[in-house]
Copies of this chain bind each other. A is one copy, B any other.
Amino acid sequence: MQTELSKKLGVEHAVFGFTPFPAVAAALTRAGGFGVLGAVRYKDPDELKRDLDWMEAHTDAKPYGLDVVMPAKKVEGVSEADVEAMIPASHREFVKETLAKYGVPELADGEASGWRITGWMEQVARNQLDVAFDYPIKLLANALGSPPADVIQRAHDHNVLVAALAGSARHARKHAEAGIDIVVAQGYEAGGHTGEIASMVLTPECVEAVAPLPVLAAGGIGSGEQVAAALALGAQGVWTGSIWLTTTEADMHSRAVTEKLLAAGSGDTVRSRALTGKPARQLRTEWTDAWDDPNGPGTLPMPLQGLLVAEALTRIQKYEVEPLLGTPVGQIVGRMNSERSVQEVFDDLTRGFERAIDRINKIAGRA
């Protein structure tokens, strides 16, 4: 499955896969797709260096990319402590009460709580890029708007294409004006931060809005039939994520989360502000229900919500507190019903794609 973009990147199939796990990213690239390693969890640049060394050794000189989280808006002259101070005491109390209600144990003294999406991540991402540009990455994606102009320039100087996620045609146009190379049209059904417009409508709107820039379709894609549909809508490839979470190479933080993903139906996700303060699709849990309850205190705006819940989420994950335990994932979770290798899932995608082409040619009277 070859598009102009896949040819440009030297990739066999126009299937891009975002994943926080180097083993999944490398397997995707080896299978003939394009693995994109999520960098958000690397607070220490040396850890990123170690994993990129590993990627180099396990990708057969085939192309892969990196995904960073760089907020479009810079926060100047305000410290993280200043913002922490803006969180109402009643919200902290609500977190405490909810955790107590479910008997969630405390962390040990000095134990680190998880990562946070905050306005101070730009420097973290810049440190990551200082490492990453020493490697032959072919793509730099940003999950929160267009990266700053100097970062785009630096990527282009290294012959790295820049991609940015968009939830509307208006976002897509803004990214194009900022000089990025690829728009990832993130439909309503997608996992993580997502807008209101579903892929069937969003993909062609973005294609039209930024032509001739290439668009990757994201949201709801886990089968070859869905890949064919996305390409029929004008995309130059698909951007997948959720489906790799239940592969055997995925190193999920908790076995209980994997079990939940395997058991979930397409109706078991919710687009909630509980995680970061912006709407993000994730497994629906008693934790998201508590935040989405009209009788509760409600969520705070980004970055306050992320700061507020960071330690709580670490505790919920560490102690695998079932009713509260979730993860970002898209509606395609309903089809993630078995654990298979990346290669097997990938082979299913390419076979399903060929089947869909056969079928649609027959319908069009071209078989």
Determine the distance from Cα of A224 to Cα of B317 in the docked complex, in whole angstroms. 46
CB pair B364 A353 closer than 8 Å: yes
Tell me how many residues of A have a C-beta within 8 Å of chain B: 52
Contacts of A366 in B (CB 8 A): 357, 361
Q: Of the candidates B195, B334, B361, B365, which one forms a contact with A205 in the assembled complex, judged by CB atoms under 8 Å apart? A: B334
CB pair B354 A201 closer than 8 Å: no
Oligomer copy total? 2
Contacts of A364 in B (CB 8 A): 1, 353-354, 357
CB pair A266 B205 closer than 8 Å: yes
Find residues 188-231 in chain A having any chain B CB closer than 8 Å to their own CB.
Answer: 188-189, 195-202, 204-205, 219-221, 223, 225-226, 228-231
Given contacts A187-B200, A198-B198, contact A228 B360 (CB under 8 A): yes
Determine the distance from Cα of A199 to Cα of B1 in the docked complex, in whole angstroms. 23
Any chain B CB within 8 A of the CB of A154?
Answer: no
Determine the distance from Cα of A233 to Cα of B199 in the docked complex, in whole angstroms. 13
User: Looking at A168, A187, A229, A231, which has the most chain B CB atoms within 10 Å of its CB?
Assistant: A229
Any chain B CB within 8 A of the CB of A341?
Answer: no
Any chain B CB within 8 A of the CB of A248?
Answer: no
Determine the distance from Cα of A189 to Cα of B196 in the docked complex, in whole angstroms. 9
User: Looking at A201, A223, A356, which has the most chain B CB atoms within 10 Å of its CB?
Assistant: A201
CB pair B197 A200 closer than 8 Å: no
CB pair B201 A200 closer than 8 Å: no
CB pair B228 A200 closer than 8 Å: no
Determine the distance from Cα of A11 to Cα of B203 in the docked complex, in whole angstroms. 29
Given contacts A225-B232, A360-B232, A365-B2, contact A198 B187 (CB under 8 A): yes
CB pair B201 A332 closer than 8 Å: yes
15 A/B residue pairs, CB under 8 Å, sorted by A: A2-B363, A14-B363, A169-B334, A195-B267, A197-B267, A200-B219, A201-B335, A202-B266, A205-B334, A225-B232, A232-B360, A294-B294, A354-B364, A357-B364, A361-B361
Complex A-B, nearest 7 residue pairs according to Cβ-Cβ distance, in ascending order? A200-B220, A198-B198, A229-B229, A228-B232, A189-B198, A229-B232, A201-B331
